[in-house]
Chains A and B, each alone.
Chain A
Amino acid sequence: MSRRILGWLWLWLGLLGWALGTQAAELRYQLEATPVAADTWVVEGSTGNFSRDNGGNIVNVAFIATGAGVVVIDTGPSRLYGEALRELIARTTNEPISHVLLTHHHPDHVFGNQAFDPDTLYMLAQGRQALAREGEAFADNLYRLVGDWMRGTEVVVPRHTLEPGVLTVGGHRLRLLEYSGHTGSDLVVFDETTGVLFASDMLFYNRALTTPQSPGLMIWAQELVALAELPYTLVVPGHGPVLADDSAFRQMSDYLTLLYQTLMAAASRGLSPSEVMNLPLPDRFQAIAGSRYELIRTTTHLYPRYEKAALELLSEQ
């Protein structure tokens, strides 16, 4: 009798363990480091949107083993991701992490910060302020979108302020450039030693660009012209595949221009925001992941300015 109870107990414990085990196994980021240049690896995310399936792994992060420490560029969407990234770096190189450069304050790029030594975190001054200001709201929204993947994730504002200019670490000379088109403070890292351009979210490729904090589409487009002139050999966009030519720049410029012209024309015709959200997109943009979704968001973020500009101030009679 007691053996039977014991048997049941073991069975239940086994089932419980199995259930917990599979759950834990589900919430594990499968990160891979792809070598793209000397001492340089990219961890590529999908071009999807935040979801409970991908845990927000929709972003490209990168790291460079400089000889005097690893320079990491962005930390991903959650604490869990940050930890997986740190393990991946430790498996790939024996060097300790000396610098973690955070490109901008969007959650998919900085919510892995917790996994890293706070003394290694660096971000531009404006980006730090923006993260301190808006981080909590981003976190709330991300919990809603990806659920349990976010467990234990907290906003960590980097301790050190990064200045634009040249940062030399080991054998790598990194040019740090500050732009504004995507969020108002966007770090781009150009490794002059290898010619790899880490454009972060100044550049999206085969994935629709996002505009929640963009100061303006044409500001972004003008900055891209300057960015495209750098003597790069390889481009790592913030979202989408790594590439060796200027296709991503051309696609971005085309898309920004289309958005600008669409919003201008819509405002001059007096269209309502709902009508803009449902406007047809040219065929060449249908293939870009998330183009309709992001048109809806961009209309919310930016169309009111175009609408206002198309109206006259009406004074009292």
Chain B
Amino acid sequence: MGRLVWMLCGLMAAPVLAAVPQDPFGSPMWEYNLSRYLGEGSRVVHDERVQLVVPPFAEDSAQVPLTLDLSAYPGPVQQIITWVDLNPIPHLFTLTPGATQARLVSLNFRVQQATTVRAAVRDADGVWHIGSAYVDAAGGGCTAPSLTGANPDWEQHFGTIHGGAFARLPGVRYKFSVMHPMDSGMVGDVPAFHIESVRLTGPGGDAPLLTMTLSQSAAENPMFVFELEQQPPYTVLWMRDNNGNVFERRLGEASGAES
């Protein structure tokens, strides 16, 4: 009798499960985070052209490099959402491209324990293409105090921005860092204090080149890399943190050429 009930349950569950492909990494958070970030019943496929690159292990749990390389993905991309399955707040960033496509995005994140990491790319038909990777870690990256905050004169450097533009054929790669503690809010008595919006805008630009929203999984003093398929004459970088501080800088022009 018990077996029969299980079989019936299995039959009823089968069509629902078939909508979501198996997770090759077998993460317990796979389906939960899919419906949490992409919406219940979203169409999802694994796609190797969504290349998510993280190191096999985190040498520093508070600074784990992540690069999302979409150079093999045919596009166009409607939206990108990334998350870290086993972090207390899994969401890392959501990126919406503008008229020019983002070919590559990179930033560092924190890990609380060994985990799978996901990048979901939505195509024009509303299907999400998933790239996955796994990083081993000693952990504790989200609940470790920021090094910036521990430094008594951090406020002097707060908001300092370094940047550069690097030629790519075709296109441009922007790279910039901002001194910001990016407090996750998970360390005793330190409220969440982090950059939550990043926007790049070209000349004449009400329509941004890209918009990114960030969550607490992003690492402190973040270094961002964005590679765009076309190079605008100039680009304005705009960022805002959850305390209302706004940072605005003009990004330079790329010299030289590299394909």
A33 CB–B CB distance under 8 Å: no
Instruction: Return the chain B residue nearest A143 by Cβ.
Output: B138
Known contacts A270-B173, A297-B59, A300-B63; A314 and B251 CB within 8 A of each other: yes
Contact of A272 among B56, B67, B249 (CB under 8 A): B67
B236 smallest CB distance to A (angstroms): 9
Interface size on B, residues (CB 8 A): 34
* Residue B200 is within 8 A (CB to CB) of chain A in the complex: no
A170 within 8 A of partner (CB): no
Summed over the interface, the residue pairs from A and B with CB atoms below 8 Å come to a total of: 79
On chain B, the residues within 8 Å of A299 by CB distance are 65
A274 touches B59 (CB 8 A): no
Q: Write out the residue numbers on chain A whose beta carbons fall within 8 Å of the beta carbon of B55.
A: 274, 277, 296, 300
Cα A277 to Cα B135 in complex, Å, equals 14
Report if B54 contacts A (CB, 8 A): yes
B158 at the interface (CB under 8 A from A): no
Given contacts A273-B65, A301-B59, A317-B249, contact A310 B53 (CB under 8 A): no
Q: Is B73 an interface residue (CB 8 A)?
A: no
Question: Contact flags (1/0) for B221-257 with A, using CB distance below 8 Å?
Answer: 0010100000000000100000000001111100000
A274 pairs with B53, CB closer than 8 A: yes
Q: Which of B56, B249, B252, B258 contacts A296 (CB 8 A)?
A: B56
A residues engaging B (CB < 8 A)? Answer: 140-141, 144, 269-270, 272-275, 277-278, 296-297, 299-301, 304, 307-308, 310-317
**Complex Cα distance A303/B248, Å?**
26
Report which of A273, A304, A311, A316 forms a contact with B163, defined as CB distance below 8 A: A311
Report if A269-B166 is in contact (Cβ < 8 Å); known contacts: A300-B59, A304-B223, A313-B160.
Answer: yes
Chain B neighbourhood of A272, CB < 8 A: 65, 67, 104, 106, 225
Chain B interface residues (CB < 8 Å from chain A): 53-57, 59-60, 63, 65-67, 104, 106, 108, 138, 160-164, 166, 173, 175-177, 223, 225, 237, 248-252, 258
CB distance from B229 to the nearest CB of A (A): 16
Whole-angstrom distance between the alpha carbons of A315 and B248 in the complex?
A: 9
A273-B104 Cα distance, complex, nearest whole Å: 13
- Closest A residue to B105 using CB positions: A272
Known: A270-B166, A304-B223. 17 other contacts (CB 8 A): A272-B67, A272-B104, A273-B67, A275-B53, A275-B67, A277-B55, A297-B59, A300-B65, A301-B59, A307-B177, A308-B177, A310-B164, A311-B164, A314-B162, A314-B249, A314-B250, A316-B249
Residues of A within 8 A of B160 (CB): 313
A32 to B178, CA, bound (A): 52
Quick one: closest A residue to B60, CB to CB? A300
Q: Are A307 and B223 in contact (CB under 8 A)?
A: yes
**A296 and B166 contacting across the interface, CB-CB below 8 Å:** no
**Minimal Cβ-Cβ distance residue in B for A278:** B53
A312 surroundings in chain B (CB, below 8 A): 162-164, 252
Nearest CB in chain B to that of A303: its residue: B65
Give B20 Cβ to nearest chain A Cβ, in Å.
Answer: 27
Residues of B with C-beta under 8 A to A270? 164, 166, 173, 175, 225
Is the beta-carbon distance between A269 and B248 smaller than 8 angstroms?
A: no
Bound together, the chains give a CA A277 to CA B64 distance in angstroms of: 12
Q: Which one, A296, A310, A316, contacts B59 given CB within 8 A?
A: A296
* Shortest distance from the beta carbon of B4 to any chain A beta carbon, whole Å: 42
* With A272-B67, A311-B162, A312-B163: A317-B250 Cβ-Cβ less than 8 Å: yes
Q: Is the CB of A316 within 8 A of B177?
A: no
Q: How far is the CA of A144 from the CA of B108 in the complex (A)?
A: 24
Cα–Cα distance between A317 and B258 once the two chains are bound (Å): 29
- Please state if B225 and A313 are interface contacts (CB–CB under 8 Å): no
Q: Please list 11 pairs of residues, one from A and one from B, whose beta carbons are closer than 8 Å in the complex, sorted by A's number.
A: A270-B175, A270-B225, A272-B106, A274-B65, A275-B53, A275-B67, A275-B106, A300-B65, A304-B223, A311-B175, A314-B237
